[in-house]
């Protein structure tokens, strides 16, 4: 399996080992565009892998903070009481850069930047860049993807 994320198309594709595209999802990448620098709020490009899968048995729309479940479940009403919160929901796929000096190490390290593929609130649009650097997905989609991939799965992010 491998994953291809297209920033221009705001799309994530999952490919089987034989190269066939078996899933296609609308996503939301960074509103600041593509970039690797720490603090940029950009989605990093290049070759990555899934370093860790977090939240295997978490409830649908369960909230995470610092890779830990908060005990909260996202609803539109609950979200309205926290309007500035960047919701990380349902599942987290933590990405690790594979290209030293580009997206790994120093001031460009995707893992140290806490770049995830994660679920988000239903009020957030897909297909347009709105995140703070991560790759946002619908909760049902990220749960499906999570169940289909393993830690170590290759992820290519292109701009």
- Give the three-class secondary structure for 150: coil
pLDDT in tens, 75-122: 999 999 998 899 999 999 999 999 999 999 999 999 999 999 999 999
Q: Is the pLDDT of residue 35 over 90?
A: yes
Give how far Cα 155 sits from Cα of 15, 64, 95, Å. 10, 22, 8
Q: pLDDT class for 57, splitting at 50, 70, 90?
A: very high
- Using the structure block, give the residue that is written with the tokens 């897909």: 126
Q: DSSP readout, 87-119?
A: --EEEEEEEEE-SBTTTBSGGG-TTTTT-EEEE
Mean pLDDT over the full length of the chain = 97
Yes or no: say if 127 and 28 are a contact pair by the CB < 8 Å rule: yes
Number of structural domains (the chain) is: 1
Give the mean model confidence (pLDDT) for residues 125-135. 97
Yes or no: say if 129 and 10 are a contact pair by the CB < 8 Å rule: yes
Put simply, whether the predicted model's pTM sits higher than 0.85 gets the answer yes
Range of the domain at 78: 2-158
- Give the three-class secondary structure for 76: helix
The CATH number of whichever domain residue 65 belongs to comes to 2.40.440.10
Rounded CA separation 32/113 (Å) = 15
């Amino acid at each position: 399996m491998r994953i291809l994320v297209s920033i221009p198309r705001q799309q994530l594709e999952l490919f089987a080992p034989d190269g066939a595209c078996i899933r296609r999802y609308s996503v939301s990448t960074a509103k600041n565009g593509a970039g690797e620098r720490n603090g940029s709020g950009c989605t990093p490009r290049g070759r990555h892998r899934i370093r860790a899968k977090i939240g295997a048995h978490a409830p649908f729309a369960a909230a995470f903070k610092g890779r830990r479940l908060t005990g909260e479940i996202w609803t539109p009403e609950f979200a309205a009481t926290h309007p500035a919160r960047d919701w990380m929901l349902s599942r987290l796929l933590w990405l690790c850069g594979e290209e030293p000096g580009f997206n790994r190490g120093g001031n460009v390290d995707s893992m140290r930047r806490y770049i995830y593929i994660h679920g988000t609130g239903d009020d957030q649009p897909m297909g347009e860049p709105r995140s703070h650097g991560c790759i946002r997905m619908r909760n049902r989609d990220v749960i499906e993807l999570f169940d289909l991939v393993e830690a170590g799965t290759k992820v290519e992010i292109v701009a």
